[in-house]
Amino acid sequence: MRYLVTGGAGFIGSNFIRFLFRKYGSDAHVVNLDKLTYAGIRENLAEYEGKKNYRFIHGDITNPADVAEAYSGSIDVVVNFAAETHVDRSLMEAGSFIQTDVHGVLVLLEEARKHAPNLKRFVQISTDEVYGSIERGSFKETDMLNPRNPYSASKAGGDRMAYAYAQTYGLPVIITRASNNFGPWQYPEKLIPLFVTNAIDDLPLPLYGDGRNVRDWLFVEDHCAAIDFLIERGATSEVYNVGGGNERENRDITRRILQMLAKPESLIKPVGDRQGHDRRYSLDTTKLERLGFKCSTNFDDGLRRTVQWYVENEAWWRAIKERSAEFRDYYAKQYGGR
Ligand code: NAD
Ligand code: TYD
């Protein structure tokens, strides 16, 4: 199988490429198209560089020439992870989110049309955030979309554009809406890696609002396995929720991280809330389960593995947190006045 993975230098994309090579070995051929934004780190996949079944292209999904180049080696499956992904950054500047998360999807779909006879699957990686917030109960795939921040609004645009190309041109599109991922290689701006790495250094953990917002947590390897499963078993034009079944309040996760690292709760620093902060995300995953897929990682085991990975890979995250001027500027802007 020949895969075009976009955004493969980021958190989930790099885990997915690793998953493919682990599962299929030299039967998997991967083209990784990535712009290497602040969140893209080519070295995440250094072990595959130079292998004949892996090719890295430094390019932008909004650029038709880069995208044409990426499709050129007769692709069977496209998995689009490339996106601007951080809600807090979308509150500072939303233009790049519209560019990549909406327009970039359009460019990928247009090129897909040219390769339609050979293309078996186009997977658009969407998010549970497109449904918006839910106080009680869980969202089904048929529920209305109600994105409430610039990130999720952009993702909803890409999600529906992919659907439109399935409906209009018969492209073999499926759309996955996953909940919050966690695991190794996650850029340390998101809740879990930020709090783990701050705690290791005895720095404050800036918990927004009352700390009682709820997210459903999905271990990244389970997400990768679900995507692989859906490439085989999913049906064209369909949307699939992918959840971990692990709803937790942020304050509970924060305490658990501190316990695992044997650090005091006094590191928790309540700070001003995120604007328009979605209270709770929750997915009904019956559709995926009925097809025969179940996550296999227990939340506590996944969190322990994640914490352990950050303990053992200090050089990776210190290069970002301490040596990247971009990260330091972002951190000062995001947390400085809170
Ligand atoms: P990430 O921020 O770690 O990585 C994004 C990658 O996309 C980076 O390598 C970046 O360089 C690349 N990229 C950005 N703009 C690009 C462009 N214009 N052209 C080519 N490459 C570009 O993100 P992630 O957490 O790995 O998320 C991957 C996908 O999964 C995204 O589409 C995101 O919306 C979706 N998703 C993420 C989560 C989560 O919890 N992280 C949950 C559900 C869905
Ligand atoms: P995040 O990892 O940014 O994911 P998302 O906003 O896409 O769900 O945030 C997860 C939760 O953690 C969310 O409710 C916001 C909260 N949070 C904090 O309390 N402090 C922080 O510094 C960050 C980054 C997030």
**Closest listed ligand to the CA of 181:** 1
Domain holding 238, by residue range, is 2-182+217-242
What's the rounded Cα separation, in Å, for the pair 80 and 160?
A: 14
- Backbone phi, then psi, for 78, in 5-degree steps? -110, 135
CA of 182, nearest ligand number:
1
H or E segment to which residue 111 belongs: helix 104-114
pLDDT tens figures, 210-228:
999 999 999 999 999 999 9
Q: Annotated catalytic residue: which of 34, 60, 111, 129?
A: 129
261: in domain: no
Task: Locate 243 and state its tokens.
Answer: 């959840």
Q: Which residue has the CA at smallest separation from atom 20 of ligand 2?
A: 207
pLDDT tier at 316, thresholds 50, 70, 90? very high
The pTM assigned to this predicted structure is: 0.98
> Is 259 a member of any domain?
no
For the question of residue 129 being annotated catalytic, the response is: yes
- Asked if residue 200 belongs to a domain, the reply is no
Residue 189 lies in a domain: no
Both tokens assigned to 84: 């601007």
* Model confidence pLDDT, tens digit, residues 131-164: 999 999 999 999 999 999 999 999 999 999 999 9
- Per-residue pLDDT averaged across 109-118, rounded? 96
Give catalytic status of residue 27 as yes or no. no
pLDDT for residue 46: 97
Task: Note the pLDDT of residue 337.
Answer: 84
Tell me the three-class secondary structure of 309-331, residue by residue: HHHHCHHHHHHHHCCCHHHHHHH
Whether 151 is catalytic: yes
**Quick one: pLDDT at residue 73?**
85
Q: Is the pLDDT of residue 273 over 90?
A: yes
Q: From the CA of 220, which ligand is nearest?
A: 1
Distance 81 CA to ligand 1 centre (A): 5
How far, in Å, is the centroid of ligand 1 from the Cα of 83? 4
Nearest CA to ligand 1 atom 15: 83
pLDDT (tens digit per residue) in 164-197: 999 999 999 999 999 999 999 999 999 999 999 9
Nearest to 185 by CA among 64, 16, 6, 5: 16
Q: Across all residues in the chain, what is the average pLDDT?
A: 98
Domain count, the chain: 1
Q: Is residue 106 part of a domain?
A: yes
- 159 token code pair: 């999600």
Summarize pLDDT for 49-108 with one digit per residue, the tens: 999 999 999 999 999 999 999 999 899 999 999 999 999 999 999 999 999 999 999 999
Alpha-carbon dihedral angle through residues 34, 39, 44, 46, given to the nearest 10 degrees: 50
Model pLDDT, residue 20 = 98
- Closest residue by Cα to residue 10 from 184, 242, 239, 198: 184
Ligand 1 center from residue 236 Cα (angstroms): 23
Instruction: Quote the ligand 1 centre to 218 CA distance (angstroms).
Output: 16
User: Which residue's CA is the closest to the ligand 1 atom numbered 5?
Assistant: 10
Q: Which of 96, 309, 54, 14 is CA-nearest to residue 184?
A: 309
* Residue 7 forms part of a structural domain: yes
Q: Quick check: is 299 in a domain?
A: no
Distance of CA 176 to the CA centre of its chain: 11
Assess if residue 229 is contained within a domain.
Answer: yes
Substitution site in 215, 251, 282, 306 for ligand 2 pocket (most atoms within 8 Å of beta carbon): 215
Q: Is the pLDDT of residue 42 over 90?
A: yes
pLDDT over 90 at 115, yes or no? yes
Residue 338 has pLDDT above 90, yes or no: no
| Ligand 2 atom closest to residue 335's alpha carbon, by position in its atom list | 22
173 alpha carbon to ligand 2 midpoint, in Å? 30
The mean pLDDT of 272-293, rounded to a whole number, is 98
CATH number at residue 178: 3.40.50.720
